[in-house]
Structures are given as C-alpha cells and as structure tokens.
C-alpha cells in the first residue's frame, strides 16, 4: 500500500505593502531572481538565493520564521514558495514580485547606483 503525500497545489499570497508590513517582525524576504536581476535592483532587506540554487540552500533557511518569496513578477517565486511549502517551511508568495514592490515605491536599491527592474 502506498503512502499518500499531501503536496500543496498553491500557497498564500501577499501584496507588496502587506509584505513590507510583515518585514517589521521576524519575516524573511527571499529573492529568487538571478544575480544580474538582483544587482540591477533589490529590496535592501532581502536575501538572494536564485530559484535554481534553492534546493542546495534549504539548510540555510529557518523553518520557524515566515518566508516571503519574491521574483520579478511572481511566477518563479510562486514555484519557490510551493517547493519550500512542500519541504515544511512557512511561506507566502509576493504577488506581482519586485515589479509590484517597485511600483509601490517601497525601499529598493542597487549597489551600482540607479536601481531598476530587469
């Protein structure tokens, strides 16, 4: 007899303003874009782990804290959030990604000067 495994087909989502409010606590903002996208511009309180590298970094993420996954527009971060949820993490997806974050005029920076969304 095979064992049934519950795999979430979706995760909760938060808006950019909701995500920013959640970051006042112990919540982590995880940016899963590529390094070139990160270098062009990112939220200063975010941590970068590109989506393709996420499986190799699970042990670096705390399971006891909420993780908000973000990418450019929300697609890659949704995949990341579903993967993290399947692996026992408390996670939500940032609806609209960094494009929504930037549009809300939330903190956004680049080490090279003018922060942009690639």
Mean pLDDT of the chain: 91
The reply to whether the predicted model has a pTM over 0.85 is yes
- Residue 13, CA distances (Å) to 2, 75, 95 in order: 32, 12, 6
Tens-digit pLDDT profile for residues 74-100: 999 999 999 999 999 999 999 999 999
Euclidean distance between CA atoms 1 and 29, whole angstroms: 40
Closest to 23 (Cα-Cα) out of 88, 59, 70? 70
Q: Which fold has domain 29-103?
A: Oxidized Rhodanese; domain 1 (3.40.250)
Catalytic residue annotation: 71
Q: What is the pLDDT of residue 9?
A: 64
Q: What is the pLDDT of residue 2?
A: 47
Q: What is the pLDDT of residue 117?
A: 83
């Amino acid at each position: 007899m095979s064992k049934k495994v519950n795999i979430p087909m979706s995760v909760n989502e938060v808006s950019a303003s909701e995500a920013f409010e959640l970051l006042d606590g112990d919540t982590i903002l995880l940016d899963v874009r590529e390094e070139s996208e990160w270098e062009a511009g990112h939220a200063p309180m975010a941590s970068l782990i590109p989506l393709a590298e996420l499986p190799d970094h699970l042990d670096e993420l705390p399971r006891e804290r909420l993780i908000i996954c973000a990418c450019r527009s929300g697609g890659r971060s949704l995949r990341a959030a579903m993967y993290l949820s399947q692996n026992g993490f408390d996670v939500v997806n940032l609806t609209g990604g960094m494009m929504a974050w930037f549009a809300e005029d939330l903190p956004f920076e680049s080490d090279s000067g003018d922060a942009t969304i690639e």
